[in-house]
Structure 1
Amino acid sequence: MKLPDAPWQGGEDMRRLLATLGAAEGDTRFVGGCVRDTLLGITVADVDLATRLLPEEVIRRLEQAGIKAVPTGLAHGTVTAVIRGKSVEITTLRRDVSTDGRRATVAFTDDWREDAGRRDFTINALSADPESGEIFDYFGGLEDLAARQVRFIGDALTRIAEDHLRILRFFRFHARFGAGAPDPAGLEACTARANDLMALSRERIAGELLRLLALPDPTPTVRIMVERGIFSPVLPEIDLGGVERLAALPPREQAAGVGADGIRRLAALLPRAEIAVDVAARLRLSNAQRARLECIERAEPDNGIAPRQLAYRIGAECAADRLLLDDRFGAEDAAARIGALASWRRPSLPVRGGDLVAAGVTAGPEVARLLRRIEDRWIGEDFPGEARARAIMAEELRHGA
């Protein structure tokens, strides 16, 4: 079988890189996701190369050809080539010497099958000759790809023991590429070894989980994970009630023309607002992710507040998240409300504390109190211009007097 032609294969920069790395001599191949996705007709985001050349030789050849070489993971044989701002990862063929479920010690090899055998799933172990397009399939990946089956290479328990993150990867790849029920052997192995997830860094768990949740509709797969207790060791708060909330979200996002988002989907899975702070800390989310999750889940009543008023108070992104998750609104109503925020820019209150002081209010708490009252009215009237804002100020000053 031949790899179909695709735009990513034929550019001048790629040809130059392949020539530098001896592709014509059989030293370098396309590998992994770029082969898999091209066969599926999916746009390829990243191109990975595998090579028989040792990392030092890869660097030497790249530098000699005037290509920037970044030693991104020399211990594991990975060098990144950067050409005109685009990156391609090049990894020397490897075999595992030892693994502990979190990291591996590797030795280099020149055996393509041995390198393919250390990968996780059959559909990820495909490689292709850049010159002829010939596809090399050592473990039935083409058949699994045609059947939309995500299957571990060899014994699933062994693959999981090598890297515990493969438990979550199994479900993410099933949600993205699988059809029907998950592979039984893989599912049983992941269920049996779910507690192994506790040995992983929370950052790795969060990264994999958010990628899963950001897929078009991960709900069927997440339901299986909950039913099988996969989340229990690290996120016991996620239950079938959260799955139902998640199930309602993709149709609402689609109606609103809003892209899938892992943090928003995670918020849907969490049953109570106060849990968000703990989960964000446990997963060691970034400051921005943590703030967003906490904003979405913050237990503060909005009493059906208009979208722009809500956006003014909590930000447009968080307002859209809340509207999408608010089951008081149907999909079309939520979409219309979010549409009202599309071109909206947060205005500034035309009245300042100095205006109140100039009008005779003593600087201090009274200025802040009056300013809040003026702002509340100004927001409630949908952000009128300066003339109306000053009229509101005058009314509040008379009321205060």
Structure 2
Amino acid sequence: MTNPLQNAEWPRREGLAALTAALGADNMRWVGGAVRDTLLGVDVHDVDCATIHTPDQVIDLCREAGIRTVPTGIDHGTITAILEDGPVEVTTLRRDVATDGRRATVSFATEWRDDAARRDFTINALYAHPETLEISDYFTGLDDLAKRRVRFIGDARQRIAEDHLRILRYYRFQARFGAELDKEAEEACADLSATLKGLSRERVADELLKLLSLPDPGATLERMFDRAVLRVILPETALRHVEQLRELIEREAEQGFAADPIRRLATLLPPSPDVAEGVAARLRLSRAQRAQLVSASERLGHDISSHKVLAYELGTAFAVDRLLLLGEDATTIADWQAPTFPLKGGAIVARGVAAGPDVARILQLVEKRWVREGFPAEDRVQALLGEELEQAGFSA
């Protein structure tokens, strides 16, 4: 059988060749996502490397080869090599010494199998020699990959006890790659779901949003709800919300909109700004993410009869969210550029109104009428201004 790595572009990158020369081909392996995704025919974005060298040795060897490094995770053995064709994380072989479900204490190892044994899933423990591209598979990951089965390495419950986040990682990988469900993994994730409460909010949010960013995570979220896993991290979610998510995913695909994790999160929650604020705080979302989630939660309290007016008032991105969540056709504003209101306060002052609150009030009144009339040309704006000035008692 032909090894897909032999025909892949990324193993032939000049930067990776330079890194291989610096570390020595027999002292390193490509590992994880790049290997897995190539075998699945999925585009590769990041390349990771495992090595028998210690972090200090990696830094020294790269320096001698003229490769700049950054100690991005040196406490856990990871150095990032900065290459012309993209950064590569270089991690020393490791084995777990102690774990508490949130973080692990590791020691460096010298055997590839020891390093593979501490990884989460069999499909993520595939190593490729940088020159021959021969694949090393210590836990039947190739067979699981062929069956599209996401399976923990060793005992699922033990692996989850080592790092509780692996529950959410399992669902994300299952949604992305899985076809055949692994019963042991499914049962372990459901039985140990309460352990997710002990994780940092940032880690939970990161995994949840990654899951929601996938093309079609609907079935996986429904399974998480049925197994009472989802309620641990999103107790606000009801069955109808999960069903609405699946409808939203279909709507996004039909109308040609890319997946948006915050929009999808919004449909998993009641349409309440207070709920949205609470979830945003609990998950420690960014300010921009919080604003988007709250805006989406207000979808029932806004006039949507004119999509362009909605886009003008909210901004196109927020308007698209609301329309999709309400089952409307958002393509009407997908490429629409909101016009600029062609009236400034100076023009009102020039018509005899003293600078101050009257100018601001008249400006707002004219803009509201301009928006309601569908953004007419400037001559109509001047006519509207005249009407408002006359009504306010100013000379038009």
TM category, shorter:
over 0.9
- 1:234 matched to 2:233? The reply is yes
Which residue, out of 360, 366, 369, partners 1:374?
Answer: 366
CA distance in 2, matches of 1:17, 1:76: 20
Aligned-pair CA distance for 1:4: 2.6
- 1:13 matched to 2:12? The reply is no
Which residue, out of 348, 355, 358, partners 2:347?
Answer: 355
Tell me which amino acid in the other structure corresponds to 1:400: A
CA distance in 2, matches of 1:95, 1:271: 44
Q: How many residues align?
A: 390
CA distance in 2, matches of 1:101, 1:248: 35
Residues 211-235 of structure 1 deviation map (CA, whole Å, 9 limit, x = unaligned): 0001011000000001111122221
Tell me which amino acid in the other structure corresponds to 2:102: R
Paired residues of 1:307 and 1:341 also in contact (CA < 8 A): no
CA distance in 1, matches of 2:304, 2:61: 63
Partner of 2:108: 108
Aligned-pair CA distance for 1:362: 4.6
Partner of 1:4: 5
Paired residues of 1:3 and 1:133 also in contact (CA < 8 A): no
Partner of 2:38: 38
Residues 162-219 of structure 1 deviation map (CA, whole Å, 9 limit, x = unaligned): 1110000000000000014x31111111111111111111111111000000101100
Aligned-pair CA distance for 1:134: 1.3
Tell me which amino acid in the other structure corresponds to 1:264: R
- 1:386 matched to 2:385? The reply is no
Higher mean alpha-carbon deviation, 346-355 vs 68-77, is at 346-355
CA distance in 2, matches of 1:307, 1:152: 48
Alignment of 1:2-401 (within 5 A): 2-5=3-6, 6-23=8-25, 26-84=26-84, 86-180=86-180, 182-274=181-273, 275-298=275-298, 301-327=301-327, 329=328, 334-337=329-332, 340-342=333-335, 344-401=336-393
Q: Per the alignment, in what secondary structure is the counterpart of residue 262 of structure 2?
A: helix
Tell me which amino acid in the other structure corresponds to 1:384: P
Aligned-pair CA distance for 1:400: 2.5
CA distance in 2, matches of 1:286, 1:236: 21
Q: Per the alignment, in what secondary structure is the counterpart of residue 233 of structure 1?
A: helix
- Report the CA distance shift for 1:54/1:336 in structure 2 as closer, same or farther (over 3 A): closer
Tell me which amino acid in the other structure corresponds to 2:164: H
Residues 253-281 of structure 1 deviation map (CA, whole Å, 9 limit, x = unaligned): 12222111111110111122231111111
Paired residues of 2:120 and 2:153 also in contact (CA < 8 A): yes
TM-score (normalizing by structure 1): 0.94
Paired residues of 1:3 and 1:128 also in contact (CA < 8 A): no
CA distance in 2, matches of 1:84, 1:391: 60
Aligned-pair CA distance for 1:133: 1.7
Paired residues of 2:299 and 2:322 also in contact (CA < 8 A): no
Percent identical pairs in the alignment equals 53
Residues 108-143 of structure 1 deviation map (CA, whole Å, 9 limit, x = unaligned): 011100100000001001111122221111111111
CA distance in 2, matches of 1:122, 1:388: 67
Tell me which amino acid in the other structure corresponds to 2:177: F
TM-score (normalizing by structure 2): 0.95
Aligned-pair CA distance for 1:315: 0.6
CA distance in 2, matches of 1:163, 1:186: 14
Gaps of 5+ in 2: none
Tell me which amino acid in the other structure corresponds to 1:19: A
Paired residues of 2:252 and 2:259 also in contact (CA < 8 A): yes
Paired residues of 1:252 and 1:335 also in contact (CA < 8 A): no
CA distance in 2, matches of 1:355, 1:341: 33
* RMSD between superposed Cα atoms in Å: 1.5
Tell me which amino acid in the other structure corresponds to 2:339: P
CA distance in 1, matches of 2:330, 2:368: 26
Aligned-pair CA distance for 1:390: 1.1
Aligned-pair CA distance for 1:399: 2.4
Aligned-pair CA distance for 1:302: 2.9
